[in-house]
């Protein structure tokens, strides 16, 4: 029963957070929180799923639509089992929107965790953000395959951002790990102000990710509520295997390797 309970807690919370609760004798009212300076945040929505959802009898009152959404989200979840996405944490789903973060798993942020932070270059520090961008592109490929098999035309609208957040676990019943802060708000705005089928990033993200051989198209300045005009870019793909840490890793479907 103890192992069963541990498995349940590990499914609800990130592994390092679950270990904190399972290995402590803290009072229930004590709050778990952790600040992070350099993480990546992604929001990925399927805006046209709302058009697909109906509660007509042919869909068994909406149950069949829900079943199909569950298959999509489960396929996205399965991507997290891939070794190259081990530094990515699923935060939650909100309707048909998938929220994830990178860099909040201190044990496996990148292959340079044994190095002191001040000894790492920017490229080493932000490897997890490149992995998150790869994850976003892999989600697009996954949904494209689902569309092909089910004769649908769902499209993702994705927003990425990077920066500092406050993470914590809230709730006495069904405790939930979540992240808060300006970084999260801007990532959400990158999704909501984005264009179907595209991954939108702010200029700071662009400046980092272009060093990993990602391809971009400049969108230009757009108005973002609470932020004014921000210069944004659309992330289109990756020209070649960009991981300088593990060059032997499997090439993803959106990556083109020089012959």
Residue 109's SS3 state is: coil
Q: Report the distance separating Cα 43 and Cα 101, nearest Å.
A: 9
Distance of CA 108 to the CA centre of its chain: 16
94, 88 in Cβ contact below 8 A?
no
In eight-state DSSP terms, residue 62 is G
Choosing from 210, 225, 227, 236, the catalytic residue is 225
Residue 189 annotated in active site: yes
Q: Report CA dihedral (145, 186, 164, 240) to the nearest 10 degrees.
A: 40
**Across-strand partners of 201?**
160, 233
Calculate the alpha carbon distances from 182 to 16, 133, 195 in Å: 24, 19, 22
Choosing from 140, 157, 162, 189, the catalytic residue is 189
E strand or H helix at 102, and its extent?
Answer: strand 97-102
Residue 117 annotated in active site: no
205, 130 in Cβ contact below 8 A?
no
Catalytic residues: 189, 225
């Amino acid at each position: 029963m103890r192992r069963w309970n541990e498995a349940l807690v590990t499914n609800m919370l990130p592994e390092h957070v679950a270990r904190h609760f399972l290995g402590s004798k803290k009072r229930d009212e004590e709050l778990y929180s952790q600040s992070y300076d350099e993480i990546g945040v992604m929001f990925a929505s399927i805006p046209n799923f709302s058009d697909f959802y109906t509660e007509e009898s042919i869909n068994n009152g909406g149950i069949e639509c829900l079943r199909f959404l569950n298959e999509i989200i489960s396929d996205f979840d399965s991507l997290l089992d891939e070794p190259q996405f081990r530094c990515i944490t699923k935060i939650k789903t909100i309707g048909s929107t998938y929220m994830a973060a990178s860099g909040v798993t201190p044990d496996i942020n990148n292959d340079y965790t044994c190095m002191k932070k001040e000894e790492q270059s920017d490229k080493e520090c932000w490897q997890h953000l490149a992995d998150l961008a790869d994850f976003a592109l892999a989600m697009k490929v996954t949904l494209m395959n689902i569309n092909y098999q089910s004769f649908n035309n769902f499209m993702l609208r994705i927003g990425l951002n990077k920066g500092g957040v406050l993470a914590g676990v809230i709730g006495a019943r069904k405790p939930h790990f979540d992240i808060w802060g300006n970084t999260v708000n801007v990532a959400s705005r990158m999704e909501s102000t984005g264009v179907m089928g595209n991954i939108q990033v702010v200029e700071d993200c662009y400046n980092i990710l272009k060093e990993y051989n990602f391809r971009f198209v400049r969108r230009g300045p757009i108005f973002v509520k609470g932020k004014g005009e921000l210069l944004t870019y659309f992330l289109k793909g990756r020209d070649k295997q960009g991981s300088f840490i593990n060059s032997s890793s499997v090439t993803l479907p959106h990556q083109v390797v020089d012959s």
